[in-house]
Amino acid sequence: MLLPRFPATRFQGSKRKILPELAELLHAEPCNSIIDLYSGSGIVSLLFRFMGKRVLANDYLRYNQNTARLFLSHTAEDFKGLTAEADLAYLLNHRESTFKSTVAEAFAGIYFKDAENLEIDNFCQNIQGFSGFKKALYTYAVGQALIKKRPYNLFHRANLDMRLKDVKRSFGNAKTWETATQVHALKCIQELARFPSPEGQAHQALRVDTANLAPLPVDYDVVYLDPPYMNDKSVPVNYSNFYHFLEGLCDYSLFQHGDARYPHRPIVNLGSPWHKKASALDNIGAICRHFSQSRLVMSYRSDGTPTPAEIQAAMQACGRQVEIRTVRGYQYALSKNTGNEEIFIVAR
Ligand SMILES: C[S@@+](CC[C@H](N)C(=O)[O-])C[C@H]1O[C@@H](n2cnc3c(N)ncnc32)[C@H](O)[C@@H]1O
């Protein structure tokens, strides 16, 4: 299947690079409807929409839900006559007499320069006057811009000084960090505008913590799982900690509640079954049982914790037939597991 160019993303663990392989796998696994249970950057949901599936995206972070909703609903019509440059200039710079400097005060010297923090305050207050497509689009675009302007593209450390130090760097990209939020955001909008948006299908984007699956519908043909990665030393990727700051773009009041016990002042701090081995395996069992009518397709890495063999056993214990293959389509030999390879685990 020939795929169009998907919008760029610096989201940690994005599956953008393996979209062709995922598309190929789903061709062999015919289905009309699919859940993207851990949608992250939204790029996989966008692929499923492009493939003509009815899609339900889910992620427990607000910003990711906003992106998925945008990716599953935008149309070419929405971009016609859009004055993105002027809208962004207004959103990032306009200041009402009732202006509040919540971010500038609470996050001074932590992630962004003072003037950049004030832009974020402006944005969060001005975006309240927008709704629907435009609100979702500008929130997405400004969030992507902020990710690009961060060392490591994350919000897990109070390390603005890394950007400001006048040293020769062997990492990062000083030019990208110093590029204006508006410039990054506009580029991001232009990329999405170029992406085709097929008609039809009623998609949705939810924000459900998979620790409690009850709110999720059970009548989808396939459930695609790309949970947070835990490495072979059981060190998890904590997405809530990595991206908490973006939650404030979706709910400005959160910026008032940064946790001052930590230098990086997280504004949300969510646990996940995927932060510990035992709860991850329990979650796999719960997912198999909840979606008993659905086939499961899981993206995983061969050196992950739990191991692929442990995940296979947990799925088999729920009566599933399990096939593990490499992303390139080869049979994956559990016994020869060395290195760190992207794999698919399919449970029928
Ligand atoms: C590996 S990322 C998904 C990446 C995505 N497939 C992509 O291509 O961008 C895992 C996602 O799971 C979400 N997540 C973690 N724990 C969760 C939970 N308990 N319930 C729902 N979402 C969760 C995180 O917010 C993160 O966005």
Report how far ligand 1's centroid is from the alpha carbon of 94 (Å).
34
pLDDT score of 338? 64
- The span from the CA of 241 to the CA of 227, in Å, is 15
Which residues fall within 8 angstroms of residue 9, CB to CB, at 6 or more apart? 16, 41, 43, 144
Cβ 71 vs Cβ 49: under 8 Å = yes
CA 263 to centroid of ligand 1, rounded, Å: 24
The Cα–Cα gap between 260 and 110 comes to 12
* Neighbour order of strands in the sheet with 342-347: 204-206, 54-58, 33-36, 222-225, 295-301, 342-347, 322-326
**pLDDT confidence bin for 170, thresholds 50/70/90:** low
Q: Give 180-222 as a DSSP string.
A: -HHHHHHHHHHHHHHS--------EEE---TTS-TTS-S--SE
- Quick one: pLDDT at residue 164? 84
Q: Does 6 contact ligand 1 (Cβ within 6 A)?
A: no
Model pLDDT, residue 136 = 98
Query: What average pLDDT does range 62-72 have in this prediction?
Result: 98
The answer on pLDDT for 59 being more than 60 is yes
For atom 24 of ligand 1, which residue has the closest CA? 239
14 lines ligand 1 (CB under 6 A): yes
Is the pLDDT at 148 greater than 80? The verdict is yes
Q: What percent of the chain has pLDDT over 90?
A: 85
Ligand 1 atom closest to the CA of 64, numbered from 1: 27
**Rounded-to-integer distance, Cα 322 and Cα 222, Å:** 14
Dist CA 262 CA 260 (whole Å): 5
pLDDT of residue 298: 98
Q: Is pLDDT of 92 > 80?
A: yes
In the prediction, which pLDDT does 331 show?
74
Q: Report whether 281 contacts 314 (CB < 8 A).
A: yes
pLDDT, one tens digit per residue, over 9-20 is: 999 999 999 999
Residue from 154, 239, 300 whose mutation best tests the ligand 1 pocket (most atoms within 8 A of CB): 239
CA 183 – CA 288 distance, rounded (Å): 44
Would you state the pLDDT for residue 175?
85
pLDDT confidence bin for 163, thresholds 50/70/90 = confident
- How far is the C-alpha of 301 from the C-alpha of 104, rounded, in Å? 40
Q: Which residues pair with 224 in a beta bridge?
A: 36, 297
Q: Is the CB of 142 under 6 A from ligand 1?
A: no
pTM of the full structure? 0.95
pLDDT bracket for residue 168 (50, 70, 90): low
Which of 53, 52, 37, 101 shows the shortest CA–CA distance to 298? 37
Query: Quick one: pLDDT at residue 337?
Result: 62
Mean pLDDT (the chain) is 94
Alpha-helical segments (H) within the chain: 19-27, 43-50, 62-71, 76-79, 84-93, 102-106, 114-126, 132-148, 160-164, 174-178, 181-194, 239-250, 277-290, 308-316
Question: What residue has token string 């006559």?
Answer: 81
Q: How many CA atoms, within 13 angstroms, populate the side-chain half-sphere of residue 180?
A: 11
- Tell me, using a 6 A CB cutoff, whether residue 239 lines ligand 1: yes
Whole-number Å distance between alpha carbons of 303 and 226: 15
State residue 174's pLDDT score.
Answer: 84
CA angle 82, 86, 90 (to 5 degrees): 125
Is 126 touching ligand 1 by the criterion CB < 6 Å?
no
pLDDT tier at 38 (50, 70, 90 boundaries)?
Answer: very high
The pLDDT value recorded for residue 198 is 77
Task: Please give the average per-residue pLDDT across 214-238, as a whole number.
Answer: 95
Do 325 and 341 contact (CB within 8 A), yes or no? no
The rounded distance, in Å, linking the Cα atoms of 62 and 244 is 9
Which part of the chain is CATH 3.40.50.150?
A: 1-60+204-236+273-348
The CATH homologous superfamily to which domain 1-60+204-236+273-348 belongs is Vaccinia Virus protein VP39 (3.40.50.150)
Q: Rounded to the nearest whole angstrom, what is the distance from the C-alpha of residue 300 to the centroid of ligand 1?
A: 13
Confidence of residue 145 (pLDDT cuts 50, 70, 90): very high
pLDDT tens profile 105-128? 999 999 999 999 999 999 999 999
Q: What is the pLDDT of residues 275-296, one digit of tens each?
A: 999 999 999 999 999 999 999 9
pLDDT-derived band at 240, boundaries 50, 70, 90: very high
Q: Is residue 34 helix, strand or coil?
A: strand
On the question of pLDDT at 245 being above 70, the answer is yes
The closest of 52, 71, 37, 38 to 295, measured between CA atoms, is 37
